[in-house]
Structures are given as C-alpha cells and as structure tokens.
C-alpha cells in the first residue's frame, strides 16, 4: 500500500481534487457535445487528465491513474486534430470523468465496474475509424471481428504497468534522428499508397501491371527495412549502460567481506553494455542478492581456503555481455560450492522434506530458489531466504532464463540471460496439441530431431542423454495439460533453474520477434503461461515460462481417468487459441468451434461437461445460441464471455440458459477456469 494512502488527510484532499477536476472534465465534455471547444480549452482538459493521472499514481490509485491517462490521451488527440469529435466520443469522455469520483472509495488497483466500463467505451470510440470501416463494408463482405483487436476483446492485457508512465532520460540527438526516420517512413508509406493506385489503374494492361508490381515490391521491401531500423532506434532510446546499476557493487562486496572477515577480489567486466533501463532496474536488487549470497555463503574464510590449498583471497566476478538482443550476466565465485547436505538438513528442519529423506540433487536445487528458504539463521547480513527466490522471480518476469551450476570445493556460477528490451522478445515457435506456442529463445539450449535421440524409460520418468547429462523428457502437450494428437518429431532442450529439461513437440518452425501481451485477468491463474503475442492473420502464439514449465514437467505425473471436456466457441481464431490454451493448461480437455453453426453441429454429435462462448458471434448472439443449445436438451453449464455486451445483454444471456457471465475485464485471478470447475462440480 502506498504510504500516501495511509494518511487520511491526504486521502481526503485527493478525493476533493478528483471531484473538482472530474467536474471540469464533465463540463468540457458537455461543451464538446454542444458544438466544440477552442484549442485553449482542449489544452485545459488535457491538463486535467494529465494531473489526475500523476496525482493518482503518487497516491497509489492505479485504476484512477489509468483512467486519467486515457482521458489525457483522448483530449490530446482532440487538441492536435488527430481524431474528429462527435457526440458519442463526448458522451464517453463525460461518462468516464463521472466514474472517477466513485472510484476513489473503491479498490485502488481495480476501481469500480463503472470505471472499467467507462474506459472500455472510451477506447471503443477512439477506435471509431476502424469500426467505421466495418460499417462501410458491403453486405456479405466480412470485416475484422471486434474480438480480433490487439487485446482479443479484452482477453489479453498490456505489458506490466511498471513499463509505462515512468520518466526515462534519452539522448536528444537519438530522439531527433528517430523523428526524422518516422517522417521519412511516412513519405515512403505515401509512395506505397500511390503505387497501389498505379497497380489498380494498370489492371488489364499486362506490361504496365508488371512494371507497377515490380516497383511496388521494391517499395515494400524498402519500407520493411525502414520499419526494422525504426524499431531498433526506438528500443535503443530507452537503453542505458549496465554501469547505471553496478556502480556501487564493488563497494558493497568490500563492505560485506570486511563484516564477515573474508578476503575477496571483485571483478566487474562488461558494464559498458546497454539494455532497457527498466530491465536493468528489475535486475539491480537480484544481482546485489547474488553478490551478498556469494560473499556470505559461497566464499570460505582465508584460513579455510589456505588449508584446502586455495589462495587466501577469493575471486568473485560479475561478467556481462550482449549478443542478439540478449543480455547475459554471469555471477561466479571460486568458493566452496553448495553444501547439499546442509540444504537437505535445512529442508528437513523446515518441514519441506521428511526426516531421513535422501532427495536427489535436482529436488534440492529447486529448494534453493523457493521463497523463505535459507540454510542459515537470518541476521544483519543474512536475509529471510528471499534472495534467490527474488532472482528467479525477476528473471521469470523478464521472460529470461537462469542456470545454476555448482561444484563442491570449486565454486558456483549463476548465469542470467534476459532480453535487452522489455517490449520485445525472441521466441521459438512450436506446434503442440494443435496450437502454436512460443518459448523464449533465450531458454532453448538445443533443438534435436526425435529420431536422433535415444529415450530411456525408467519407473519414474522418460530420460535422454544430452551433452553427457541425463535429462527428464516429456511431451510438451502433457506438460501443459493437453492431449497430443499429432506426431512428435522434435525435442527442445530447455534451460531452467532446476536444470535442463527436454520437451517433445510436433514441429518447430523458427524464431520470431514478438511483442508479448499478458493474459487478461479472466485467463490468469496458470503460472506456466506468461502471455500471448499476435502473429498477424488472426494467429496467436501462447507464450510459456520455461522455468515454471520445467518445474511442472518434473512434478507432473500421468493423468489417470478422463478429464472434463469443454467446448470453446468464438469467431476469433486468436481468442479461441488463448482461451483453449489457458483452459487446457488448467486441466481441461478442450475442443474449439469458430461459429454458432459449427458449435451446434459438434454439440449434436459429442458430449461436453461445459461450454464457453463469446457473446458477440456471427449470425446470432450468445443469448440466441445459448437458447438453441438448451433446445437440444443439453444441460452442460454455459459460461458467457464478453468485452462489449451491456447489462441488458447479460440479462438476456442468463435468461436464455447461460449459467455464468464473465466480463473479459473481470479482475478475479483465474476466474474462467475456477467458474467452470465449480459449475461442473455443482451439476
């Protein structure tokens, strides 16, 4: 909780300020609806939204801050003539401003349902140009589905809020070069538009058409290169050298070493490499934890080192490198290594292992990165066991990989690899369980033909040998809780804190750089899924966390007996993939239907334990489809999803036979899977 919100007087003042500024925003929206506002008044409205955004952020009211940001952007677009004003936009602006007042008394992180609805409606009005294109299409010509917007109708979230709204210093010269690149790209885009017109005019004239198409192809290739360059420049704007966070590390190591009576030479290499400032900020504290942990646990006292034939002065190093948009950081010491017997005793003492348990190193290794686990008693320099856990959590949040290597008497090496940019990541795309999945390329150690691998079945698991090491191997589909119907052909070796794991997949079809989006709240609750990315053409890749997946692979046992079957109905292919992937990973057997007609055909021939359908469907809405399903005598629970339906729509759906109705902006963690499970149990 924000310290500001603990001060009741400040909270009272904040509530008063929101009420005053909201009233001015409402008045401005009314004037806009009546006939428009002069530029200076539009600027005033922009400032009101900007101030609400900043003040709410300081006070810890993230929902109000997000609404203020949306109002700020909308009024700025009106001021700069980027969007036209109309009555519906003015109503949306006024409605959202009104909802700010009641949100002060609600949960600071989620606000009120009215606030969420107001933000959705304003976003819809700001996307009016795209909606207008749909309305202008001739009858029978399919337009882009509303559920195919970048958030799949609310199923996908944005990047973490920490990635936005912060001030970041940038080089002015780089900024102006970026602006020039954008201007040049716009000119090139206009040339492409003109060339498309030339192609159209050349139809029926083979020679002219061939020349026009050749020229158009050249222009498109040039634009593609310019867009890639533009992306690189934009990402580089937010980059900062590693030295921004490592400047105090040498002093930290010296201080801790003196406190515990150890002699240590600290080496720092590669701190000139740069990465996204927010990536480095996420790594700053975890790296400090690793250094303190190495000094306190890893390095021996001088006398002990001398007795074992080592130099009295230990070496602790932090080495960084950047290759192919990946930042690799290695923290290594030449100390005693991990005492696995001490780890085992600590685990038994804390009740994590039974007395006398002789767990293998793999199981003990995973405990090192568990929250609240430590082999020593907390003190001035020893924390409560959150150090290594925080390292693993930070790497996971950045979609990176962590490798832990230790050798008794020789030392320990921890390698962290993360993308240099939070906005983009390179993913290896695979096919498994009939869907497309993405694994961070950083975590993929090897990609092998299944025929080249010798699999060995043991009573506990399937294993393979890779680079002299025995690894557990399992079907990727089994690991995410789905049924594999294809023929397995590849094995991907994935890095994780608990060691490499092999996953068998149907196919692997290369690397793609993707912009990751988090799963929306309704689909949350499956920890090994980190989000999704749009690939174009309606295709979506579901992204997995390799560390969580490796843990699941080591812990998962063969499922006995049938799983509950769920039919997902949505005309958006992307939405079907995301919902299906999330439910499959939550333990359901999932079938997909892309239209009401297809769904009714499937339901006439097969039985399901539950049905999930979008409210906005082609040919009929969700309420009509639910009624048709009930007319067939099907009693399976129906869960309705919508990011656009009104309260009246919801009422119609429930009266027609739906058992539950979830807004796609629902804030409950894992709401969809939990609701389906409860409805099946109650049936």
Residue-wise pLDDT for 195-220, tens only, equals 888 888 888 888 888 888 888 888 88
511 C-beta neighbours (distance < 10 Å), count: 14
Please state whether beta strands 501-505 and 469-475 pair in parallel, antiparallel, or not at all (unpaired): parallel
Judged against a pLDDT cut of 70, whether residue 221 lies above it is answered with yes
Q: Check residue 621 and give its pLDDT.
A: 87
Residue 380 has a pLDDT of 43
Task: Tell me the mean pLDDT in the region 276-285.
Answer: 84
Give the pair of three-digit tokens for residue 435.
């869907």
**pLDDT at 81 > cutoff 60:** yes
pLDDT at 175 over 50: yes
pTM: 0.55
Most confident of 166-175, 359-368, 521-530, 572-581: 572-581
Cβ contacts of 87 within 8 Å, gap of 6 or more: 33
Between CA 35 and CA 43 the distance in angstroms is 17
Could you tell me the end-to-end alpha-carbon distance of the chain, in angstroms, rounded to an integer? 40
- pLDDT confidence of residue 169: 59
For residue 91, the tally of other CB atoms under 10 A from its CB is 17
Q: According to the 3-state scheme, what is the secondary structure of 224-284?
A: HHHHHHHHHHHHHHCEEECHHHHCCHHHHHHHHHHHHCCCEEEEEECCCCEEEHHHHHHHH
> DSSP label at 203?
T
Distance CA 228, CA 243 (A): 28
Do the Cβ atoms of 545 and 571 come closer than 8 Å? no
Query: In the structure, what pLDDT confidence band is assigned to residue 132 with cuts at 50, 70 and 90?
Result: very low
Residue 134, pLDDT > 90, answer no
DSSP state of 154: G
Of 232-236, 574-578, 580-584, minimum mean pLDDT range: 232-236
Instruction: Please list, in sequence order, all residues whose beta carbon lies within 8 angstroms of the beta carbon of residue 529, skipping any fewer than 6 positions away.
Output: 480, 519, 542, 543, 544, 545, 581, 582, 585
Report the number of secondary-structure helices (H) and strands (E) in the chain. 22, 23
CB distance 83 to 42 below 8 Å: no
3-class DSSP assignment, residue 416: strand
Q: Which helix (H) or strand (E) holds 201?
A: helix 172-201
Instruction: Identify the pLDDT of residue 6.
Output: 42
Say what percent of the chain tops pLDDT 70: 81
Confidence of residue 164 (pLDDT cuts 50, 70, 90): very low
pLDDT at 629: 95
Binning pLDDT at 50, 70 and 90, where does residue 360 land? low
Distances (CA, A) of 329 to 271, 322, 395, 633: 10, 9, 11, 60
Q: What is the pLDDT of residues 392-425, one digit of tens each?
A: 888 877 878 888 889 989 999 999 998 888 767 7
User: How many Å is the maximal CA-CA distance in the chain?
Assistant: 90
Q: What is the mean pLDDT of residues 580-599?
A: 85
pLDDT exceeds cutoff 70 at 382: no
Average pLDDT of span 215-228? 80
CA dihedral 84, 85, 90, 96 (to 10 degrees): 30
pLDDT at 320 over 50: yes
**What DSSP element (H or E) covers 131?**
helix 128-136
Which one has a higher pLDDT value, 270 or 650? 270
DSSP 520: P
**Least-confidence region, from 35-49, 288-302, 655-669:** 655-669
- Give 363's contacts (C-beta < 8 A, 6+ positions apart): none
Q: How do residues 479-519 score in pLDDT, each as one tens digit?
A: 887 778 789 999 999 887 777 889 999 999 888 877 777 77
Give the residue-averaged pLDDT of 454-481.
87
What pLDDT is attached to residue 336?
A: 92
d(CA 43, CA 172): 25
CB atoms within 10 A of CB 649: 18
């Amino acid at each position: 909780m924000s310290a500001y919100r603990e001060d009741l007087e400040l909270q009272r003042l904040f509530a008063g300020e929101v009420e005053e500024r909201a009233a001015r925003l409402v008045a401005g929206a009314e004037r806009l609806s009546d006939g428009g506002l002069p530029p200076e008044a539009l600027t005033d409205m922009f400032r009101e939204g900007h101030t609400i955004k900043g003040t709410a952020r300081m006070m810890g009211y993230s929902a109000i801050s997000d609404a203020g940001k949306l109002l700020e952007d909308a009024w700025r677009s009106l001021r700069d003539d980027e969007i036209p004003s109309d009555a519906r936009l003015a109503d949306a602006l006024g409605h959202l401003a009104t909802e700010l007042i009641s949100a002060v008394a609600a949960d600071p992180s989620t606000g009120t349902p009215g606030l969420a609805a107001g933000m959705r409606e304003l976003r819809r009005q700001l996307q009016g140009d795209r909606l207008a294109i749909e309305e202008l299409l001739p009858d029978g010509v399919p337009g882009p589905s509303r559920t195919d917007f970048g958030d799949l109708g609310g199923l996908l979230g944005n990047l973490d809020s920490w990635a936005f709204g912060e001030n970041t210093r940038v080089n002015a010269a780089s900024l102006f070069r970026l602006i020039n690149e954008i201007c040049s790209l716009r000119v090139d885009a206009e040339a492409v538009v003109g060339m498309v017109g030339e192609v159209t005019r050349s139809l029926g004239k083979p020679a002219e058409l061939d020349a026009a198409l050749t020229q158009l192809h050249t222009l498109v290739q040039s634009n593609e290169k310019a867009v890639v360059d533009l992306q690189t420049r934009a990402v580089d704007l937010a980059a900062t050298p590693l030295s921004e966070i490592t400047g105090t590390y040498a002093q930290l190591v010296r201080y801790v070493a003196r406190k515990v009576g150890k002699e240590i030479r600290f080496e720092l290499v590669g701190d000139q490499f740069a990465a996204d400032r927010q990536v480095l900020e996420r790594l700053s504290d975890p790296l400090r934890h690793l250094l303190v942990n190495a000094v306190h646990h890893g390095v021996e006292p001088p006398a002990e080192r001398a007795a074992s034939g080592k130099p009295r002065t230990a070496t602790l190093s932090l080495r960084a490198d950047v290759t192919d948009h990946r930042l690799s950081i290695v923290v290594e010491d030449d100390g005693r290594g991990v005492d696995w017997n001490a780890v085992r005793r600590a685990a038994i003492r804390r009740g994590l292992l039974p007395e006398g348990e002789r767990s293998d190193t793999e199981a003990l290794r995973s405990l090192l990165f568990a929250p609240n686990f430590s082999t020593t008693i907390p003190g001035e320099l020893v924390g409560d066991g959150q150090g290594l856990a925080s390292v693993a959590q930070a790497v996971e949040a950045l979609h990176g990989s962590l490798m832990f290597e230790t050798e008794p008497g020789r030392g320990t090496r921890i390698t962290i690899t993360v993308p240099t940019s939070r906005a983009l990541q390179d993913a290896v795309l695979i096919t498994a369980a009939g869907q497309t999945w993405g694994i961070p390329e950083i975590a993929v150690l090897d990609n092998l033909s299944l025929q080249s691998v010798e699999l060995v079945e043991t009573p506990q698991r399937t294993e393979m040998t890779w680079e002299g090491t025995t690894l557990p191997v399992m079907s990727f589909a089994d690991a995410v809780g789905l049924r594999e119907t294809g023929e397995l052909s590849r094995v991907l070796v994935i890095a994780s804190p608990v060691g490499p794991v092999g996953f068998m997949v149907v196919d692997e079809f290369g690397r793609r750089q993707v912009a990751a989006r988090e799963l929306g709240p309704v689909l949350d609750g499956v920890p090994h899924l980190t989000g999704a990315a749009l690939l174009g053409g309606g295709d979506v890749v579901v992204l997995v966390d390799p560390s969580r997946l490796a843990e699941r692979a080591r812990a998962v046992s063969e499922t006995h007996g049938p799983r509950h079957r769920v039919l997902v109905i949505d005309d958006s292919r992307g939405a079907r993939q995301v919902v299906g992937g999330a439910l499959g990973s939550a333990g359901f057997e999932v079938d997909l239907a892309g239209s009401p007609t297809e769904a009714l055909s499937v339901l006439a021939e097969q039985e399901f334990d539950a049905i999930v359908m979008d409210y906005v469907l082609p040919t009929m809405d969700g309420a009509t489809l639910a009624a048709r399903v009930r007319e067939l005598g099907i009693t399976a629970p129906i869960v309705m999803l919508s990011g656009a339906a009104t309260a009246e729509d919801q009422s119609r759906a429930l009266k027609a036979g739906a058992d539950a109705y979830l807004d796609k902006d629902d804030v409950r963690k894992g709401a969809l899977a939990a609701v389906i499970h409860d409805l099946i149990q109650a049936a």
